[in-house]
Amino acid sequence: MCDTGNAAVGHPAATVSLRGMVNVVVTVDALASELHSGMFGGAAPDALAALVAMLATLRDTAGNTTVEGLDNTQACTDQTYPPEQFRTDAGMLATDSLLGDGTVSDMLWARPALTILGIDCPSVLGSAAAIAPRARARLNLRIPPGLEPAQAQQALSAHLHAAAPWGVAVEVEVEASGSPFRARTDGPAYRALAAAMQEAYGRPMAMLGQGGSIPRCNVFADTYPGAEIILMGVEEPQALIHAPNESVDPTEIAAMSLVEARFLQNYPITHP
């Protein structure tokens, strides 16, 4: 499956683990309608303030994801991601701190990670002096191998309900979910792939985790339990996948095309 990428341009890699994910929309209702902030503010519950307070409980001061009931102490022992390389790849500001109390690979590939994807609330431009009666947020929870989406969804929903202040009404709607994945790497297909990448790139193939989710991998693994599932591609960090200015390095396309061709030539020889 060509939906991942190398460690960097010119550094070949196969992806051997993926996080799963749960997407939810949380809705907070506090009032029947907007209210004048001067006439009612201070005593009437504010749905937006309640939502902000709830979202603030999903990370601690170090940046660890803190969903009650989900372990956030796992370690990634077989893969590394140098911190300075990650800072460059992510385009971090010089004043930014890395999040979490684990290594970069721990935080990306072995632990849950909560991201706020969007918030429905009054925009700054045109906002009035009024208390918001309703507010919503879309949340994305990435989960590591070993954790099932249903368990993560239940934990996140329970956490949000428990964190809601002032008796506001809370609804958590699940939009999408997918299981994490870990690939087998001890078969002939991986040996053929390693040889093809060595030839195309002139350096050994690394094995990496990826923080993204590809639920189809588990469908293939369940349908064909004896198959080797290979994840590779041209989406190295500087491709900025999912950003408005995402791109692909042409040299990666050329090299990965050679990898695919040589793999198809080599695999029948290594696995007749």
Give the separation between CA 246 and CA 159, rounded to whole angstroms: 34
| Three-class SS state of 49 | helix
Nearest-angstrom CA–CA distance, 17 and 13: 12
What are the tens digits of pLDDT across the range 14-28?
999 899 999 999 999
Q: Which sign does the torsion angle of CA 198, 249, 260, 110 carry?
A: positive
Boundaries of every domain in the chain? 13-17+181-270, 20-72+112-178
d(CA 272, CA 262): 16
Reply yes or no on domain 20-72+112-178 having CATH 3.30.470.10. Answer: no
Q: Please tell me the predicted confidence (pLDDT) of residue 7.
A: 85
What is the tens place of the pLDDT at every residue in 79-112?
A: 888 999 999 989 999 999 999 999 999 999 999 9
Q: What is the pLDDT along the chain (272 residues), one digit of tens a residue?
A: 888 888 889 999 999 989 999 999 999 999 999 999 999 999 999 999 999 999 999 999 999 999 999 999 999 887 888 999 999 989 999 999 999 999 999 999 999 999 999 999 999 999 999 999 999 999 999 999 989 999 999 999 999 999 999 999 999 999 999 999 988 888 999 999 999 999 999 999 999 888 778 888 989 989 998 899 999 999 888 888 888 888 999 999 999 999 999 999 989 887 76
Nearest Cα residue to 162 out of 68, 70, 72, 71: 68
Q: Please enumerate in sequence order all residues whose Cβ is within 8 A of that of 219, keeping only pairs 6 or more positions apart, or say none.
A: none
- Rg of the Cα atoms in the chain: 22
Both structure tokens of 7: 């460690």
DSSP β-ladder status, 206-210 and 13-18: parallel
